[in-house]
């Protein structure tokens, strides 16, 4: 298992002094969604790590079944539209592989 893989449906990359990170974790806690929080505070290269993983440099960065969905605002938008539950259950649809 690498640092970008988790058995839980959601992974949240965070740092300690990050209000958006706390907001994201609170939302997931309130919804009872199981997640792994990865604290990048002590990683000097964490911005570069995030850019390589998600294309974004802010925290939190949130992955659902390994797919980056964005930060807290995007998580909240998915929750408000009702999409979050579906993504947790079904994952992000992938194009079918060629037969």
Ligand X SMILES: N[C@@H](CCC(=O)N[C@@H](CS)C(=O)NCC(=O)O)C(=O)O
SS3 99: coil
63-82: contacts with ligand X (CB under 6 A) = 71-73
- 45 Rama sector, left if φ>0, alpha if ψ -120 to 50, beta otherwise: alpha
Q: For residues 30 and 89, which CB has a smaller minimum distance to ligand X in the complex? A: 30
60 part of the interface to ligand X, by CB under 6 A: yes
Binding status of residue 53 toward ligand X by CB under 6 A: no
Which one of residues 58, 65, 79, 87 is an interface residue with ligand X (CB under 6 A)? 58
Beta-carbon contacts of 44 under 8 Å, excluding residues fewer than 6 positions away, are none
| Look-up of token digits 């079944």 | 65
59 binds ligand X per the rule CB under 6 A = yes
Q: Which of 10, 12, 18, 84 binds ligand X (CB under 6 A)?
A: 18
Residue 45 CA, distance from chain mean position? 19
Contact positions toward ligand X, by CB under 6 A?
Answer: 18-20, 57-60, 71-73
């Amino acid at each position: 298992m690498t640092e970008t893989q988790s058995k839980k449906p959601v992974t949240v990359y965070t740092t300690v002094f990050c209000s958006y990170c706390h907001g994201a974790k609170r939302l997931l806690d309130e919804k009872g969604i199981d997640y792994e929080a990865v604290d990048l505070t002590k990683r000097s290269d964490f911005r570069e790590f995030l850019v390589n993983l998600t294309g974004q440099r802010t925290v939190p960065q949130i992955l659902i079944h390994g797919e980056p969905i964005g930060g807290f605002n995007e998580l909240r938008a998915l929750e408000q539209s009702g999409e979050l539950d579906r993504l947790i259950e079904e994952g992000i649809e992938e194009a079918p592989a060629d037969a």
